[in-house]
């Protein structure tokens, strides 16, 4: 978590202190594709890899920026639709209410008669257009992402009480390898996939953890 301070680090610190004293600093968005950042431009469907963030010298700022980039995946409809802030999943790019009107149920897998597995299989059905992946289910309410900021999602993801009692290493593995998470990039039937690739997301989250797992500032958007 501690800053590695070599001579260049001290220079940066001195400049920052002077700038702060002058009242002329204003935190740039953690990542942005416009204005004030030298991060490379990417399309809406692409992710910046961890290497794009190496230019951010301050370790904590780099960590915040890495998570903000990853939050572009978390906040994409392919992912957020099944992290509802209520008892009903969403669908589509506009977060429509799931049709049929299913409910979360006691174990986040629906209720008798309309369990997730009543309709969703372990793979996408191209002809019927029903999406599917292994262990199809809703994220628990504690892991709700709908309406949440990148900072709120970050704090949630680090909190064992709200992340399924996972360590940060397990969070990296979950993002990088979970087969239901993988569906976000293989949604079937012309659905827009989440940005980038699951491998890139795993790399971003690994780099975020390695850089101290700092959370973006409130109000920061990817």
Phi-psi region of 105 (alpha: psi -120 to 50; beta: other; left: phi over 0): left
- Binds other proteins (CB under 8 A): choice among 25, 41, 96, 117: 117
- Binds other proteins (CB under 8 A): choice among 8, 23, 35, 101: 101
- Binds other proteins (CB under 8 A): choice among 12, 114, 168, 180: 114
Between residue 124 and residue 153, which ones bind other proteins under the rule CB under 8 A? 125, 127-130
Q: How far is the CB of 167 from other proteins (least distance, A)?
A: 34
Say whether residue 170 binds other proteins (CB under 8 A): no
Residue 148 CB neighbour total at 10 angstroms: 19
Binding segment toward other proteins, per CB under 8 A, in 48-56, 65-73, 112-120, 140-148 = 112-120
Binding segment toward other proteins, per CB under 8 A, in 78-86, 108-116, 169-177, 208-216 = 108-116
Compute the C-alpha angle 161/148/96, nearest 5°.
115
Q: Which secondary-structure segment (H or E) carries 63?
A: helix 59-74
Distance CA 68, CA 29 (A): 9
Say whether residue 80 binds other proteins (CB under 8 A): no
- Binds other proteins (CB under 8 A): choice among 68, 102, 181, 204: 102
User: Contact letters (x/-) for other proteins, 27-66, by CB under 8 A?
Assistant: ----------------------------------------
Give the position of tokens 């039937």. Answer: 189
Q: Which secondary-structure segment (H or E) carries 177?
A: helix 168-177
Residues in Cβ contact with 35 at an 8 Å cutoff, skipping those fewer than 6 apart: none
Q: How many Cα atoms within 13 Å fall on the side-chain side of residue 213?
A: 14
Distance CA 169, CA 131 (A): 29
Q: Which is nearer to other proteins, 87 or 199 (CB)?
A: 87
Q: How far is the CB of 125 from other proteins (least distance, A)?
A: 6
């Amino acid at each position: 978590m501690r800053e590695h301070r070599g001579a260049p680090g001290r220079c940066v610190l001195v400049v920052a202190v002077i700038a702060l004293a002058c009242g002329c600093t204003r935190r740039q968005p953690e990542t942005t594709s416009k204005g004030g950042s030298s991060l490379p431009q990417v399309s809406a469907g692409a992710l910046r890899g961890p290497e794009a963030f190496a230019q951010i010298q301050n370790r904590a700022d780099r960590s915040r920026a890495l998570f903000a980039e990853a939050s572009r995946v978390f906040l994409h409809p392919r992912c957020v639709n099944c992290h509802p802030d209520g008892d009903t999943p969403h669908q589509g790019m506009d977060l429509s209410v799931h049709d049929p009107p299913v409910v979360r149920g006691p174990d986040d897998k629906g209720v008798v008669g309309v369990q997730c597995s009543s309709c969703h299989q372990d793979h996408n059905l191209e002809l019927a257009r029903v999406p599917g992946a292994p262990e199809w289910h809703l994220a628990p309410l504690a892991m709700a992402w709908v309406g949440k900021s990148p900072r709120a999602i970050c704090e949630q993801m680090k909190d064992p009480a709200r992340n399924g009692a996972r360590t940060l290493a397990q969070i990296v593995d979950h993002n990088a390898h979970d087969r239901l998470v993988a569906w976000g990039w293989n949604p079937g039937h012309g659905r827009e996939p989440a940005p980038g690739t699951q491998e890139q997301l795993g790399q971003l989250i690994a780099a975020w953890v390695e850089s101290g797992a700092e959370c973006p500032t409130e109000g920061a958007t990817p």
